Amino acid sequence: AQSVTQLGSHVSVSEGALVLLRCNYSSSVPPYLFWYVQYPNQGLQLLLKYTTGATLVKGINGFEAEFKKSETSFHLTKPSAHMSDAAEYFCAVSGMNRDDKIIFGKGTRLHILP
Amino acid sequence: NAGVTQTPKFQVLKTGQSMTLQCAQDMNHEYMSWYRQDPGMGLRLIHYSVGAGITDQGEVPNGYNVSRSTTEDFPLRLLSAAPSQTSVYFCASSRPGQRRYTFGSGTRLTVV
């Protein structure tokens, strides 16, 4: 079975400050890991994904995440927050098989303070 | 525009009524899935399909049926609506193994 735990249902940062959203995963097989973002009244869109290879993954809008197997973590970071980053962020996990389904975390709502 | 189309966008049902949420994609994606989103619960997988004629249950399948007669369409049926099914429903699709989901814009369902 696979699962993800996102630490903090709400995170607030000041504009220009570092964004850090935490995600820990549990998987009995080597995982694929994802971060998705949801803007108000929209569906989700992929920010970045880790499959194999380089453990530091760069995504869209300046976000990146690092896969740390020893810590079973996949935290999302951005050096400098922008007002447009306010959204809900979802960490997700799946197995490596072709038809493995994706399991999402409960989400973290990011608030940007002016 | 290519993508995932969900209809309707909003729906109010009375308890016990049935309805079908429609999902169509024009990207020739074999993999399609239905999620429900509830506050504090994230997205929970209801049913998914890895190709036409093949469906399987996700985490919360009770009260829902699906079928996949074509690659393009993946309707979700509520057999007898209950207030606990009040939620926002998302359909998503991807190429097999790619796991780059394209999401629809959602259907907001209220059961009274």
Asked if A9 is an interface residue toward chain B (Cβ–Cβ < 8 A), one would say: yes
Nearest residue of chain B to residue A100 (CA atoms)? B97
Rounded to whole angstroms, how far apart are CA atoms B71 and B24? Answer: 9
Instruction: Give the model confidence (pLDDT) of A10-66 as tens digits.
Output: 999 999 999 999 999 998 888 899 999 999 888 899 999 998 888 899 999 999 999
Interval A63-91: pLDDT, tens: 999 999 999 999 999 999 999 999 999 99
Q: Is the Cβ pair B31, A46 closer than 8 Å?
A: no
In Å, how far are A67, B10, B50, B78 from A92, measured between CA atoms?
13, 27, 19, 26
Task: Please tell me the distance in Å from B102's CA to the nearest CA on chain A.
Answer: 7
Torsion of CA A21, A25, A30, A33, to 10 degrees: -30
Nearest CA in chain A to B40: A106
